[in-house]
Amino acid sequence: MTLPRPTLFDTDPAELAVDVILIGLHSRNGAAGGAPPDLLVAAGCESVVAAFDGRLTDTLRLLGATGAAGEVTKLAALGAITAPLVVAVGLGPEPAGAAPPPEVLRRGAGAAVRALTGQAKAALALPVPDDEALPAAVRALVEGALLGAYRFDGYKTTPPRWPAVRSVAVHVPDAKDRAARAELTRAVTATGAVRRARDWVNTAPNELRPPQFAEQVAAAAGEAGLAVEVLDEKALRRGGYGGILAVGQGSAAPPRLVRIGYTPAGRPKARIALVGKGITFDTGGVSIKPAHGMWEMKSDMAGAAAVAATMLAVAARKPAVAVTGWLPLAENMPSGTAYRPGDVLTMYGGKKVEVLNTDAEGRLILADAIARACEEGLDYLLETSTLTGGQVVALGRRVAGVMGTGELCERVRKAGEAVGEPAWPMPLPEDVRQGMESAVADISQVNSAMERVGTMAQGGVFLSEFVAPEVAWAHIDVAGPAYHPGEPYGYLTKGGTGVPVRTLLELVETLPD
């Protein structure tokens, strides 16, 4: 699906020749029990309110609007303004400050644009402060609108009933303001990367097996001017990548390791590696998963999709840091050639690992990639993966778990908070490591007694064994946040979310500071 064309405008929203004007609506305290809600139209659309001669809030209230976050109410303009349709999106309670927080704007813009049917040209007259908070607000509105417009219908044999939104204009105090225009460009790059990651995650697994995924990533990276190297199964065997080979050996589609490189024009301020788990489909292998919900395991390559998409955004943004992306790709299948519980693997670098559960395969391919990435001399290593069900149990489907170097984990948390991809630092307890001692190898891949305690931490502890001591690192477990199986909300549709592309991009651009 083509990305809608975003622009900025500073003219009167009531006179703009578009198909729909999007406005914000707050709920206000004070309505007595059973009484109609007290509504407040958000800033940014004063001329639209005036055009309705004071009847806008009353009419919206009659249509059932409450101002609740994400609620969408549509109203025919009937000639009151140039646009034939007004869409009011709930922004929640009246803000204490001058404007709602960026994430409220991002979700509101996403919900409103997502609800449009047949309106090709949309304009957002939502709150944008005329102060230092302006850039963040502009970025949030553009990101929300473009991500809310996302649809994946690559396998539909009939065209959509309604045409997609083709253009989105955002109302700002000054459309020529450099900071606002810079944030528009930045948002377009970020959302383009997120949408690319979503497309890869939503692709049917029979069409995105490791060789095909590697080919697509290599082609996209090459077009973006990035250096690309793809190791096939023969090169992996020569290089001693025992984890990637073991996981992939049960599939007729052999594994791959993709390296993507970006080098800045001058001396790099820092060297950063991004590593993403790329299990293109996860049956669990011999330790097979239950049938119910297994189809969602096409998303087990969301980490690799996020890293690849982030690298494309890096190529466009051209930060003053050197960045490498590492994508270990495999398909975890049961067969006569599959790896087994009880196997001992020789990982890249020589460490011996005892396998107890073939459904804990992601950490095996990541360990090889992490060890290899550290050989290049890094300042930071950021790894992301749909690694453990324990992340979903502990933090739910919307908050990622972060483990690793304490200071860097806090930077990840702050970056996620800034872009609307929340993450929470978690510990790597020593007793969890003790529980992974193996009687026959250097470490067990999971708890040696198969105890399901601290399962999210088990994944992080295992990966820590393969990180060079001098490298600051963070493991971002997005088992829940990377895939949304429920009803759409905000700027998220059902399926792949693109998390944590925006977090990774934010870190690449801010870590040197």
Catalytic residues, which ones?
289, 363
CA–CA separation, 368 and 126 (whole Å): 47
CA–CA separation, 262 and 326 (whole Å): 12
Could you give phi then psi for residue 456, rounded to 5 degrees? -65, -40
Closest CA to 281 of 201, 214, 353, 357: 201
Q: How many other C-beta atoms can be found within 10 angstroms of the C-beta atom of residue 356? A: 19
71-74 contact pairs (CB < 8 A, 24+): 71/25, 71/111, 72/111, 72/112, 72/115, 73/25, 74/115
CA–CA separation, 253 and 229 (whole Å): 19
Closest CA to 23 of 82, 78, 114, 85: 85
Q: Strands of 352-354's sheet, edge to edge?
A: 344-346, 352-354, 443-444
- What six digits make up the tokens of 156? 């539909």
Residue 455: left if φ>0, alpha if ψ -120 to 50, beta else—which one?
Answer: alpha
CA–CA separation, 413 and 416 (whole Å): 5
Could you give phi then psi for residue 370, rounded to 5 degrees? -65, -45
Cα three-residue angle 223-225-227, rounded to 5 degrees:
110
How would you write 320-369 as a 3-class SS string?
Answer: CCEEEEEEEEEEECCCCCCCCCCCEEECCCCCEEECCCCCCCHHHHHHHH
DSSP string, 84-129: SEEEEEEEEEPPSSSS--HHHHHHHHHHHHHT-SS--EEEEE----
- The total number of residues shown for the chain amounts to 513
DSSP reduced 3-state for 456: helix
Write the CA distances from 140 to 28, 124, 228, 418, 502, integer angstroms.
23, 12, 32, 10, 12
